[in-house]
Amino acid sequence: MAKDYTISIHLDTRRSKSNGKYPVKLRVYTSLPQKRKYYGTTFDFTEDEFDSIWKSKKPRKEHKELRRQLFAIETKAESVAEKLNQFTFEQFEKQLYRKEGDGIKIKYHYALLIKDFIHNKQLGTANTYQLAEKSIIRFLEHNNKHYNTLTFYDTTPELLQKYENFMVETNNRSYTTVSMYLRTLRAIFNKAIDEKEIEKDHYPFGKRKYQVPNSNNVKKALNKNELKALYNAKPINTEQQKAKDFWFFSYSCNGMNIKDIALLRYKDIENNKIEFFRAKTRITSKGNLKPITAYLNQFTQSVIDKYGSENKSPNQFIFEIIDDDNTAEQKQKGIKNFTRFINQHLKKLCKANELPDNISTYWARHSFASNFVLNGATIVDAMESLGHSNIQTTQNYLSSFDSDTKKELANSLMNFD
């Protein structure tokens, strides 16, 4: 396959330096698209010196070492470019300027991804990666190992199993937490393989290697009777009422999560329906973005009327959870605080009515999925309504139904009324 780039050592004669010499630069040119960039070096020469050192077929003896150093710069740049699946200046620069050996270090790749997530305002994801990284550091310190030197090659199935044991047995953390943290490490491995940092043979995850725990058996949904009981429950204060209203708003709008509720604008409502894109997939699924449609009913419209902003201009947020003037960090904090408010007051309402008091906003999403299918929707319908990009994610939701829900689903198969 022909190269779509050329790399060369170049004397930039556009402007001389104070010493009368010109800077030597690394010149990189791509044909598609046509683009040229220059990268500085520590060298500067006169035109005669450059010709003698670099262009001459037989440089003078005193110039041979300088020629070797320039050749090393060019060779390193060529080596970096050749390893890229597809040449981009962004990837080229990232690998050209990093320290020797960084490409195989776990720390380096965590730092890169966290920086990217923060840049893209995916602060929740960035926080998950930061927590995962901290847990790995604690595990290594517990075993007298150093995180700064941990490489992909050190991260074996055996080490991952020891990490799981440390988290569950020593730190008393759940398998759900272990799963969440190790999925970040698995994502880092996959990215490194895609970018040819390591060979696929060193991938420690999968069958007959280390398998990330899958904890789908924890109840996360209310059945029909529980939903009815919660809907009819009498809140003892305005906080519980508001928490209940927004939980059922989420449930009624295809299990819309609180961040997406916070980001709703009046322009998203048209013809008695809400159309929105999940914030979670706006970056991860750019190539396959599909709007989710949630039809308004009497209850959801009443929540908008009760809690909606008085300013109903198209670009106004419907609910005053966050503000356009907020920074990304302030928006994340506002959404987090509102989610905590709902969870805190809903738990109290559920406990007072003998309902599961470990309920959270996330249960609204699973409750929607469960009852949507029980009412006759196909798994494809559920996938589209939830905004999942693949059917496996939806199947994971359905596989988490508790035994009562599965029994109800089995009984409904022969209900022809």
What is the per-residue pLDDT for 284? 54
Nearest to 340 by CA among 327, 320, 321: 321
What is the per-residue pLDDT for 413? 46
What is the per-residue pLDDT for 390? 65
Nearest to 308 by CA among 321, 323, 327, 326: 321
What is the per-residue pLDDT for 11? 95
**What are the backbone dihedrals phi and psi of residue 330, each rounded to the nearest 5 degrees, phi first?**
-65, -40
Q: Residue ranges of the domains in the chain?
A: 5-96, 102-202, 224-412
Taking 50 as the pLDDT cut, the residues of the chain under it are: 409, 413-414, 416
250 Cα distance to chain centroid: 22
In angstroms, what CA-CA distances link 374 with 10, 59, 249, 308, 401? Answer: 69, 81, 20, 32, 11
Are 342 and 246 in contact by the 8 Å Cβ rule? The answer is yes
Q: Give the C-alpha separation, 338 to 265, whole Å.
A: 17
State pTM to two decimals: 0.61
What is the per-residue pLDDT for 279? 80
224 Cα distance to chain centroid: 33
What is the per-residue pLDDT for 197? 87
Q: Order of strands, edge to edge, in the sheet holding 292-295?
A: 269-270, 273-276, 292-295
* CATH H-level superfamily of 224-412: Intergrase catalytic core (1.10.443.10)
pLDDT tens-place string over residues 66-109 = 999 999 999 989 988 888 878 888 888 888 888 878 889 999 99
DSSP code per residue over 295-341: E--HHHHHHHHHHB-S---TTSBSBTTS-TTS-HHHHHHHHHHHHHH
Structure-block tokens of residue 85 = 């699946």
